[in-house]
Amino acid sequence: MKTRISVSLIFLSSIAFAEPLPWGLMIKKDQCAKFWSGDECIYYKLPAGWKETYPDDKGFINYREKKCKFEAGKEKNCCEQLGLKFVDTKADKDLSQAAPDFCKDR
């Protein structure tokens, strides 16, 4: 009986880590872009020199005493509210791997 409980707990704890990571922004000096670090099948590292930031529990991103309500798909608006220039990751080949649209392994 104890063995079944132990195996069940191990199985359940591995499921807890399978959820995707949240979308956020990556910031470098005065530039801003959308960022997603991945899910259970893929992980994306930040490009050199960029820092990641994620919404707080109320959905806001705070940066240098400014804040924006973060909404996926409206990252440009959020960057502008933070006083940063939005960079389209699909148009910039160096940043395109930082914000994929889907997991290629599925």
Q: How do residues 38-89 score in pLDDT, each as one tens digit?
A: 777 777 788 889 999 999 999 999 999 999 999 988 999 999 999 999 998 7
Mean of the per-residue pLDDT values of the chain:
78
* Separation between Cα atoms, residue 37 and residue 50, nearest integer Å: 13
Q: Where are the domains of the chain?
A: 20-98
Which secondary structure element, helix H or strand E, spans residue 80, and what is its range? helix 75-81
Could you report the per-residue pLDDT of 2-52, keeping only the tens digit for each?
555 544 444 444 445 557 778 899 999 999 999 888 777 777 788 889 999
pLDDT band with cut points at 50, 70 and 90 for residue 95: low
Per DSSP, the three-state class of 8 is helix
